[in-house]
Amino acid sequence: MVTPQQGRIDRRLAAILAADIAGYSRFMGADELGTARALREHREAIDPIMASHGGRIFKTMGDGLLVEFPSIVAAVECALVVQNLMAGRNVDVPEDRRMLFRIGINLGDVLIEGDDILGDGVNIAARLEGIAEPGSIYISDAAYQQVRDKLDVIFEDRGEHQLKNIARPAKVYRVQGAAAAASPLPILSLPQKPSIAVLPFQNMSGDPAQDYFSDGIAEDIITELSRFRSLFVVARNSSFSLRGKTDVNEVGRRLGVRYLVEGSVRKADKRVRVTVQLLDAASGNHLWGERYDRKLEDILVVQDEITRAVVSTLPGRLENAERDLAKRKQTSNITAYDLVLLGNERWRRLTRKDLADALDHFRSAVALDPHYARAHANVAWTHVCNVFLEAADASSLDGVLRHVEIALDIDDSDAWSHGVFGQLLFLLKRDDEAEIHFKRALGFNPNDADVAAVFGNVLVYWGRWREALTWIDTAKRLNPLPPNIYHWYHALALYSAREYEQAIKALREIRTLDRWSHCLLAACYGQIDRLDDARTELDAFIGERERELRERGEALPLSRLDLVLSRTDRYRDPLDREHFLEGLRKAGLTG
């Protein structure tokens, strides 16, 4: 008979760690007994580590396990020790036989039933483990908020992910430092120019929903500083990925810069307080600091004052003509500005729903201030994104050309607008005009890593892969912790250069392979006759690509070669297009 106590289900907040071995089924298929023995030996090493951190293993599933910890700090500390231990144990193991743990950690509400733990708090940890790269640690936003200032590690913002069977998108962070013993951070040489990075400003408003505003302030300061040709300014993606990191020397080394700007924003009612300081990353010395208490409507003036103060404090002399570059035409309508910041936060998620929301915000900003150049440019940009996501056809871009033209009529020196125009014209196959606007964008803002990377990618499709590699290398130095798409651009250029092994190496830098990464890997492996690997990647591409089309309600093409048309059609030279298809045919893709 089950007593009331035995049948009781309790609820509590818990720190949950989920872990499994990447590619375990493949290991078992190749050597069942050897794999089982190796896993047992690894578990004999790591189980005591988990126990020493207060962990309780409450469920095992073959190679996987679920562990409850008394605190989120203990869970992350344990995960770091485990990953470093595994890196050491794998040093002398051939790469294709290394067992690597993927770890996901969440802090959430769980249900306790006897010795078992259930609920979304557990499910989210398991889903995070599922999207983590081999050897890495992913944590939820709830976990990050508790541990961000308590451990001396880097938390890389990986954006929002729609986790399987979890209703709301989850913000995810990657804990960097897990494999530090095996892979020391590269030390980047300092540029000859004064080099600087702007870290994300801390939101002091007490409302996480205001993060977009503090991030937007910091991003706009990056944009303003980037316009000075005498400065080397690290891209937003890299500096924002080090959110919460307090060791300025390590941040400087990681980004390859001498100076750092950090600050905080408190927004309340119609007032805003911005506190900012300039630091020497090498020495940690404080070079300049200021606090601005202003009306909310004066925030754009504050940004300009911060930019000028930072520039004037840096060693060396900037020409007055360059100082004038910072006088970018903005809006005086704070509501329109706020809408653009909200839209920027949405479009970066790159889902159809978020792009639709972003477009609504940008259109509302245009309605409030028809002379707001950035709002007009961003209306066009969301349409460009939809074309790249195949949510719209390139022919739909004709209707938004006018928005970019208006933006450039208002401010012809705005690099962002020229960059958007370049991408739009490329998709419309107006290549000569596109190149003009790409070069204008990079002339007005030589620090724009995203435009440099995209221009490099476009040059590949124009058959100019040597130039492409130069621009992509520039982009990767400006953005030393780049998004996955940079590695894909790099790999595509290397494929065009017939450097297939190097292209594979670039693709392996991608943290989570998507369908097009699998596609390009298949072509690379096909060209070097690694046909088993080629077929594996091709199958992954076909499966993901067909699932994508079904989810969009589109009919599957009669020929599987047609699955790649959205990429191959971008090549201007039929020989380049055929070279890409040749690799896929060698991998086994047939018509």
Q: Which residues of 561-579 are buried (b: 16+ CB within 10 A; e: fewer)?
A: eebbeeebebbeeeebbeb
The dotted CATH code for 195-327 is 3.40.50.10070
Question: In this predicted structure, what is the pLDDT of residue 184?
Answer: 43
Query: Average pLDDT for residues 290-298, to the nearest whole number?
Result: 88
pLDDT digits (tens, 9 = 90+) for 530-553: 999 899 999 989 988 888 888 888
Question: In this predicted structure, what is the pLDDT of residue 457?
Answer: 96
Per the prediction, the chain carries an average pLDDT of 86
For residue 226, give the nearest of 385, 413, 422 by alpha carbon. Answer: 413
Query: Average pLDDT for residues 127-153, to the nearest whole number?
Result: 88
What are the extents of the domains in the chain? 10-176, 195-327, 328-445
Of 71-80, 225-234, 507-516, the poorest mean pLDDT is in: 507-516
For residue 288, give the nearest of 271, 273, 305, 266 by alpha carbon. Answer: 305
pLDDT digits (tens, 9 = 90+) for 493-503: 999 999 999 99
Question: In this predicted structure, what is the pLDDT of residue 182?
Answer: 36
Sign of CA dihedral 463, 466, 467, 470: positive
Rounded to whole angstroms, the maximal C-alpha distance in the chain is 86
Q: What is the pTM of this model?
A: 0.66
Burial of 47 (0-12, 13-18, 19+ CB in 10 A): middle
HEC per residue, 238-299: HHHCCCCCCCHHHHHHHHCCCEEEEEEEEEECCEEEEEEEEEECCCCCEEEEEEEEEEHHHH
Higher per-residue confidence, 418 vs 191: 418
Identify the CATH assignment for 10-176 out of 1.10.3720.10, 3.30.70.1230, 3.40.50.1860, 3.40.50.300: 3.30.70.1230
Whether 10-176 shares its CATH topology with 328-445 is answered no
Question: In this predicted structure, what is the pLDDT of residue 426?
Answer: 95
As a whole-number percent, the residues of the chain with pLDDT over 90 amount to 43
Backbone angles phi, psi at 194, to 5 degrees: -55, 125
Sign of CA dihedral 313, 319, 325, 327: positive
pLDDT for 7 beyond 70: no
In total, the chain counts a number of residues equal to: 591
d(CA 143, CA 288): 33
d(CA 9, CA 117): 10
Going from the C-alpha of 445 to that of each of 105, 237, 474, the distances in angstroms are: 40, 16, 13
pLDDT digits (tens, 9 = 90+) for 96-131: 778 999 999 999 888 887 777 888 889 999 999 988
Fold of 328-445: 1.25.40
Please report where in the chains the tokens 């995203």 appear, as a residue.
450
Helices marked H in 528-564: 531-551
Backbone angles phi, psi at 574, to 5 degrees: -55, -30
Backbone angles phi, psi at 514, to 5 degrees: -105, -175
Question: In this predicted structure, what is the pLDDT of residue 185?
Answer: 47
Backbone angles phi, psi at 353, to 5 degrees: -65, -45
Contacts of 391 (CB under 8 A, 6+ apart): 352, 355
pLDDT for 183 beyond 70: no
Of 12-16, 189-193, 393-397, the poorest mean pLDDT is in: 393-397
Question: In this predicted structure, what is the pLDDT of residue 315?
Answer: 58
Determine how β-strand 137-140 pairs with β-strand 64-69: unpaired
Question: In this predicted structure, what is the pLDDT of residue 502?
Answer: 94
Query: How crowded is residue 393: how many other Cβ atoms within 10 Å of its Cβ?
Result: 10
